Amino acid sequence: MSASVTPLPSMTAARPMPPIPRRMDLSRATALLGPVLLLLIWDLVVRFKLISPILLPSPLATLSALASGMAGGELLYDFLYTLMRTLEAFAIAAVVGVPLGVLLGSNERAYRSVEFVIDFFRSTPSSALIPLFMMIFGVSDINKVAIAAFGALLIVLFNSAYGVMNARKQRVMAARVMGASRWQVFKDVLIWESLQPTFVGLRSAVSMSLVIVVVAEMFIGSERGLGHRIIDSQQVMNVRDMYASILASGALGYALNVLFLLLEKRIVHWSGR
């Protein structure tokens, strides 16, 4: 007796592919809308002479000056000088501020004893301290790096300390219930819990370092740097070069911010869980 066999569907049969989501393409297009709109408004303002071309060059002329300057011109060297000073100041702030902030945050009494000093100088405009740093370090590169490092240090220290003090109490208590020592709680719970606010502080600190370095380059005797180039171009009415230098400093700040956002997502991937 022959049994009827129902044929199985072919394993290699082609399955219809789901439609490719276009949400990412839409988000990219939306992200470009702002810059395109800005350039369009800028171009219309220049074309209709709402602002004198002497004071505001066309976007094409400005971007051309930016491209030629960054392709091996003097602008590139000033860009690199500012970048180097910013990274030096940020490195000092991070190396000193993160460990010190974590240590102070692990002992709330110790932090409260210096909280007023930290908050006072953190609230003081760093530009107001330029004369003081000039008296201490003189007119030199050390001065520019030192004042930027000081301003960034307070931000890193504040965020690192509060990250430790505001660690989730449930995780700390769970570690203690499981018999973890005070040192184990510190290195296995508190430090990891403080990483997310610490990265927020680092991201703010690198932006602050750049701002202070550019301001210091403007007003403290400097022969190189974007700040010096901006103020020098303004004094001789070289507006294309001035706007190109401003765009270069903005691009540097934006790139550093994006870099730290990517590092934060990569390293602190458990944030919010």
Q: Is residue 231 assigned to a domain? A: yes
Rounded to an integer, the average pLDDT of 48-77 is: 89
Give the whole-angstrom CA distance, residue 151 versus residue 188: 30
Q: Is residue 44 assigned to a domain? A: no
| Count of alpha carbons within 13 angstroms of residue 15, beta-carbon side | 7
The dihedral sign for the CA sequence 202, 207, 213, 219: negative
Confidence of residue 190 (pLDDT cuts 50, 70, 90): confident
Q: Is residue 131 assigned to a domain? A: yes
Tell me the pLDDT tens digit for each residue of 146-173: 999 999 999 999 999 988 887 766 676 7
Q: Is residue 1 assigned to a domain? A: no
Q: Is residue 16 assigned to a domain? A: no
Rounded to an integer, the average pLDDT of 181-193 is: 74
Instruction: Decide: 41 and 219 in contact? Cβ < 8 Å.
Output: no
Q: Residue 134: which domain range?
A: 74-267
Give the whole-angstrom CA distance, residue 242 versus residue 234: 6
CATH code (residue 184): 1.10.3720.10
pLDDT of residue 11: 47
Helix (H, G, I), strand (E, B) or coil at 271: coil
Taken as a whole, the chain contains a residue count of: 273
Confidence of residue 25 (pLDDT cuts 50, 70, 90): low
Number of domains present in the structure of the chain: 1
pLDDT of residue 211: 93
Tell me the pLDDT tens digit for each residue of 63-109: 999 999 999 889 999 999 999 999 999 999 999 999 999 888 888 88
Q: Is residue 64 assigned to a domain? A: no
pTM for this prediction: 0.81
Q: Is residue 259 assigned to a domain? A: yes
CA angle, residues 204, 244, 49, in degrees to nearest 5: 115
Q: Is residue 112 assigned to a domain? A: yes
Which tokens in the block code for residue 51?
């602002």
- How many other C-beta atoms lie within 10 A of the C-beta of residue 44? 10
Which tokens in the block code for residue 76?
């590139």
The dihedral sign for the CA sequence 116, 119, 122, 128: negative
Tell me the pLDDT tens digit for each residue of 239-259: 999 999 999 999 999 999 999
